[in-house]
């Protein structure tokens, strides 16, 4: 039982600039600010202290106290980043979600960059599916949209 979300945005900047800004762990707290019951990111860092790379592990500390461990499964500059959340959800998310993964794809269009962020949640069971669909999917998708808008503002207004 999968639930998917997808948001998109056009950013008036070159694809390499958008990609590099979006994968920088230090930027995640100012971009993903959460929404309603969706927690904000407080910090993010790779476990090896290196910049994000394919195969690296990223630890994301959230405002609900959760500490999510993510594996970067694909990083192809400047067109793709994909990751899988390995563990760290706190209730109520831990009761609902078995696994989750995200993918950002970047496409140059003229002098702009089109960013698409897809997320996929695998639910624990049918009741979790119904609860997540009714109460979590929309706020999560709004949080994704806010994140991309924050990325857009940061990139378009950087010097």
DSSP code of residue 98 = E
- Residue ranges per structural domain of the chain: 2-156
Is the CATH number of domain 2-156 3.40.50.720?
A: no
- Confidence check: pLDDT of 159 > 70: no
Distance between CA atoms of residues 12 and 66, nearest Å: 34
Distance between CA atoms of residues 101 and 119, nearest Å: 6
Residues 6+ apart with CB under 8 A from 117: 6, 7, 8, 102, 103, 104, 144, 147, 148
Q: pLDDT per residue over 29-64, tens digit each? A: 999 999 998 999 999 999 999 999 999 999 999 999
Please name which of 65, 64, 67, 103 lies closest in space to residue 86, comparing C-alpha atoms: 67
- Categorize the per-residue pLDDT at 122 as very low, low, confident or very high, splitting at 50, 70 and 90: very high
- Confidence check: pLDDT of 106 > 70: yes
């Amino acid at each position: 039982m999968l639930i998917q979300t997808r948001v998109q945005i056009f950013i008036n900047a070159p694809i390499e600039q958008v990609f590099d800004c979006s994968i920088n762990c230090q930027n995640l707290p100012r971009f993903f600010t959460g929404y309603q019951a969706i927690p904000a990111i407080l910090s993010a860092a790779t476990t090896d202290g290196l910049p994000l790379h394919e195969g690296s592990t990223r630890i994301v500390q959230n405002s609900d106290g959760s500490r999510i461990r993510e594996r970067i499964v694909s990083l192809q500059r400047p067109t793709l980043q994909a990751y899988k959340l390995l563990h760290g959800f706190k209730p109520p998310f831990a009761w609902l979600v078995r696994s989750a993964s995200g993918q950002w794809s970047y496409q140059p269009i003229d002098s702009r960059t089109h960013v698409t962020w897809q997320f996929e949640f695998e639910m624990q069971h049918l009741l979790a599916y119904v609860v997540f669909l009714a109460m979590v999917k929309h706020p999560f998708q709004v949080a994704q949209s806010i994140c991309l808008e924050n990325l857009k503002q940061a990139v378009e207004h950087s010097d």
